[in-house]
């Protein structure tokens, strides 16, 4: 609500002794306060609803001073703000924040892809960080013992793997994880050159 007095609009809260409920009846009463007790000092005032009409902020602009324009026919105050140029520091700070926000979004999306699992030789494999560590340890054991065999728990149950199969699975998981990081790197390059889009964040991840 914006106060109207002597044909001008300015910011002043609605007094507590008036109805501020926002109901149609309350709004109608606030639009013309000639009915109030003169001792309250608001007979020549009114409070009208406001409508924002700022529109879209221009490139390298920021919102400046507020402008209040009366729409007397509708008893509404149109609120706009002047657009002023950002300073060089403000632009630099904004751009740095945008890049930081993108970097965090991309890292979060890479992690989601990285730990989402993959399928290797028909086996659904967990690629969470714990699983990555376990298969690396198993691959090391397989390299040290040519006869090494184990039962590995996949997402669909246990399977028996020979040493060579263990090493192959570990290599495939490593390639899968690296592909996730490679995609993250490519997206960060797109951030740096200004070509990043929201759609790109969901594209190009390994499965």
- In tens digits, the chain (207 residues) has pLDDT values of 999 999 999 999 999 999 989 899 999 999 999 999 999 999 999 999 999 999 999 999 999 999 999 999 999 999 999 999 999 999 999 999 999 999 999 999 999 999 999 999 999 999 999 999 999 999 999 999 989 999 999 999 999 999 999 999 999 999 999 999 999 999 999 999 999 999 999 999 999
Cα 139 versus chain centre, distance = 40
Domain boundaries, the chain: 2-85, 88-202
Cβ atoms 147, 109 nearer than 8 A: no
Q: Which pTM value belongs to this model?
A: 0.71
Q: Which residues of 125-164 are buried (b: 16+ CB within 10 A; e: fewer)?
A: bbbeeebbeebeebbeebeeeeebebebebeeeebebebe
CA distance 120 to 8: 73
**Backbone phi, psi, residue 205, to 5°:** -85, 145
């Amino acid at each position: 609500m914006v106060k109207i007095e002597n044909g001008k609009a300015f910011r002043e809260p609605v007094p507590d002794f008036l109805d501020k409920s926002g109901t149609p009846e309350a709004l109608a009463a606030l639009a013309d306060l000639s009915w109030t007790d003169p001792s309250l000092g608001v007979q020549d005032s009114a409070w009208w609803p406001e409508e924002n009409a700022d529109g879209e902020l221009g490139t390298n602009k920021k919102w400046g001073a507020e402008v209040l324009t009366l729409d007397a026919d509708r008893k509404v105050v149109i609120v706009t703000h002047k657009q002023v140029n950002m300073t060089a520091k403000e632009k630099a700070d904004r751009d740095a924040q945008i890049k930081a926000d993108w970097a965090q979004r991309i890292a979060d999306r890479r992690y989601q892809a990285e730990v989402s699992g993959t399928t290797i030789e028909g086996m659904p494999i967990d690629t969470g960080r714990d699983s990555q560590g376990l298969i690396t340890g198993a691959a090391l054991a397989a390299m040290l013992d040519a006869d090494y065999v184990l039962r590995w728990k996949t997402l669909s149950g246990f399977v028996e793997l020979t040493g060579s199969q263990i090493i192959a699975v570990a290599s495939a998981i490593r390639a899968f994880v690296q592909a996730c990081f490679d995609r993250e790197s490519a997206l960060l390059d797109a951030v740096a050159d200004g070509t990043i889009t929201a759609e790109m964040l969901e594209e190009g991840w390994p499965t």
